[in-house]
Amino acid sequence: MKSTINIKDRLHNLVINRETDYANDIYRNPVKEYIDSERNLLEKKILFKNNPVCIGIASDIPNKGDWFTLDLIDTPLLIVRKNSTDIAAYINICTHRGAKVAKEDSGKKAFSFKCPYHSWVYSLEGKLISRPRENAFDKIDKNECSLKQINIYNHNGFLWLNMNKKSEIKYKKNVKDLNLLLKDYNLNNYHFYKKKIININMNWKLAADTFLELYHINSLHDETLSPIIMSDIALFDSFGSNIRIIGPRKSVLKSKNKLQTNKEFKTHTIQVITLFPNTVLVTHHEHVEVWHILPGEKENESKVSFSLYSKEKAITKSAKQHWDNNFNLAIDVVQAEDFPLGEDVQKGFYADPKRKLIFGKNEPGLQHFHKSINQALKEG
């Protein structure tokens, strides 16, 4: 759904009329999709292996030798900046006996990686460069013992991992939509500020649902977001399986320019961009928040990573205090308000597993997200 009407005019009309974008119909989503262990396994296999997955931001590792690790479902990964332009992804497993080459969550300006088990050493390019008692392994050339590399693409600072050929094909089809969706957001030029990991007792899709409508702002966030953002007024557009929701800040009511310029528009709106399947970008005129959501071991568990990126690097004490305030507001809203309610909802699913949730016409983001998941599962 992409209207030909300018988004500034579209949003202005919604604000004036106190209206929102609508889906064509009501959608009923089975509760079983949040509590079925077999479906959870299927989603992990198809959505997180056969589909491209955004696993991080390039500015997390701005310098040569900077790196971070993560477990994408059951695959340990090591992401390394090889130089100013190239970032590589390796399976984080030593080719000798299978220990993790990098044990910590992240590091800076490494020259190489040494396996803690037997001190095999790998270069930033993933090549084995030394191993103790070399003569004991002389029949296996070091060139045969490189870390296994996984295809990774840097698109406007968003790092997309492709685990197999299916994922690669889907990523290439997705690029055109990403170009349109992210044309105003090049996170290569942003600065990483702070990160937090949150483990929650709810299905990963329920965690993602949190970001897919503004209908709940006045009710759930009456003291935190309601004074800032207008509730249940939002533009909705889809870009393939990806989603953009734009909501007006209450400051727009005082604006004399009626969102005519790009600066006015960014200042007086909040944009929530979902990069299918599991990454949410919340944009503000000075900074962006990035939420990565991964399924947990069980269907009612998930792991959420939240990071804040600023346009200007935080150097002064006042700047750091400013970004701390923004970081803490986001955490207070999501971790203290959204997720506790979501965990209660997850518990309630088991009481009536045959029930279906109701996604209203004013919740097109929810509808599109779950339809896209079902379509991806169908395609395999």
| Domains 7-50+186-379 and 54-155 equal at CATH topology level | no
- pLDDT beyond 80 at 5: no
Q: What percent of the chain has pLDDT over 70?
A: 98
pLDDT of residue 3: 58
Q: Tell me, what's the pLDDT at 257?
A: 61
Assign 129 a pLDDT band (cuts: 50, 70, 90): very high
> Would you state the structure tokens that stand for residue 235, as one six-digit string?
């533009």
Q: Which CATH superfamily is domain 7-50+186-379 in?
A: Naphthalene 1,2-dioxygenase Alpha Subunit; Chain A, domain 1 (3.90.380.10)
User: 């959420």: which residue's tokens?
Assistant: 304
Q: Which of 236, 242, 238 is nearest to 158 (CA)?
A: 242
Mean pLDDT, residues 121-128: 98
Q: What percent of the chain has pLDDT over 90?
A: 93
Cis bond upstream, residue 76 (ω within 30): no
Distance spanning both ends of the chain, measured CA to CA? 24
Whether CATH 1.10.10.10 fits 54-155: no
Domain ranges in the chain are 7-50+186-379, 54-155
pLDDT band at residue 178 using 50, 70 and 90 as cut-offs: very high
225, 176, 166, 119: which is closest to 2 by C-alpha?
A: 176
- Match 């949040």 to its residue by tokens: 34
pTM: 0.95
Query: Per residue in 276-314, pLDDT tens?
Result: 999 999 999 899 999 999 999 999 999 999 999 999 999
Query: pLDDT digit string (tens) for 234-281?
Result: 999 999 999 999 999 999 887 666 677 888 899 999 999 999 999 999
> Rounded mean pLDDT of 336-349?
98
The single residue listed with the structure tokens 């016409």 is 361
pLDDT in tens, 148-166: 999 999 999 999 999 999 9
Note the pLDDT of residue 256.
61
